[in-house]
Amino acid sequence: CPTSRGSRPRNRAPRACRGPPTDPARQAADYVDGLLETLQMAARGALPKGYRQTSIAEERYPKWLELKVVQGIEYRGPKYRVIVYRLVNTAGHKYTLREQEFLTGVQKAIALNREVVESGEEVVVYLLDDAPPEPPKPKPEPKVDPDAKS
């Protein structure tokens, strides 16, 4: 992008030239569009810089009767969190899913990559909610020099 000698500082590119926004939900013109864009980016595995990806420990996996969690990933951003579960149908028959099955009351949006899952097939579930507050970081222990005199 070209730079001009207007009122903008020399080291700062025009807004349109600075690259993608850090959080699509904050940049969207509409609340629902922002949620949808965040889910779509998670499905592509391409959330912006402001999001941190961590694996969910197996002991934290939710339990479903005929679906088994094979992978859980959390994407935590400045405003929202996206939890992605890969599930496999362990029943001997096809299983029909509805978003309501995953609703616990905190989700802002829920998406499935398919609704009908044959026996042995996988489905991916995306749950978007408000990012919970970060736990406080432990304060470092003060370093004490045993040879120092008080």
Letter for the amino acid at 36? L
Letter for the amino acid at 17? C
Residues whose CB falls within 8 Å of the CB of residue 91, separated by 6 or more in sequence, listed in order: 66, 119
Q: What are phi and psi of 17, to 5 degrees?
A: -100, 0
Distance between CA atoms of 118 and 100, rounded to whole angstroms? 19
Output Rg (C-alpha) for the chain, integer angstroms.
22
pLDDT, tens digit only, all 150 positions of the chain:
444 444 444 444 444 444 444 566 566 678 888 888 889 998 988 887 889 999 999 999 988 878 999 999 999 998 899 999 999 999 899 999 988 888 888 999 999 999 999 999 999 999 999 988 877 777 777 777 777 665
Residues whose CB falls within 8 Å of the CB of residue 119, separated by 6 or more in sequence, listed in order: 89, 90, 91, 92, 93, 94, 95
* Residue 31: both structure tokens together: 């609340």
- Whether the model clears a pTM of 0.85, i.e. scores above it, the answer is no
